[in-house]
Amino acid sequence: MKVCIVNGDDFGASRGINRGILEAHEHGILTSASLMVNMPAAEDAVAQARHHRRLSVGLHFNLTNEGEPVVDLGDLAACRAEVERQIERFVALMGRLPTHLDTHHNIHRRLDLQACFLDLAARIGRPLREHSPVRYYSSFYGQWDGETHLEQICSDNLMRILESEVAPGFTEIACHPGYVDPDFHSCYAIEREAEIRSLCDPKVAERLRALGIHLVGFGDLPRFLADGTGSASHSGEVRS
């Protein structure tokens, strides 16, 4: 069975990004989002998520921001303390643990910080990106070498990604939908709005169905892993 999670990073970064993520969830194929608890629109994201019960919400640890880091990345004790602060803030905001864990700019890949995130994931029993049964696909992204590549995030290419990259088992496609606004300064800007259009394109949903790919959120993952099958008995939980 091919099971796909489409996860929107940067939830809470700005109201415009929140709006884009929720639009891609309501009208497109996005099933999960990762919340930045130390960003200006975090509380707005939480309030909006309460009206979208099928949206899985995880924690997008933010140690790097878009410019000046939140914490000295060379100070392991300070990083650990910040990670603990952010998980506590998530629980305070959401009233529960996150459905999954990942990091802004994939900072968990740093070998000196990796154990910090792995330890927390093991302690709370939640999947950490690239360290779970879910394969992470990161190339639905419209910029590299400082240049915009909208062809990489068009709906036709998204359909090609679904066909070629979603194999039997579990696959996460990361995305960054959002509307540009003055509350969040990022070099990844117009690309976010292009992602919304692709994620909401009815042709993409039709292609998913034709390929037999089942859409789920990270919150559904434990039920699939419990029986080890990803069987059709879960069809009531799955957007297909």
Domains of the chain by residue range? 2-237
pLDDT interval class at 233 (50, 70, 90): very low
pTM: 0.93
Is a pLDDT exceeding 70 seen at residue 167? yes
pLDDT in tens, 4-63: 999 999 999 999 999 999 999 999 999 999 999 999 999 999 999 999 999 999 999 999
CATH code of 2-237, in short, is 3.20.20.370
Mean pLDDT of 158-172: 97
Is a pLDDT exceeding 80 seen at residue 183? no
Residue 231 is predicted with a pLDDT of 40
Query: How many Å is the Cα radius of gyration of the chain?
Result: 17
CB 134 within 8 Å of CB 172: yes
Residue 228 is predicted with a pLDDT of 64
Q: How far apart are CA 54 and CA 39, in angstroms?
A: 23
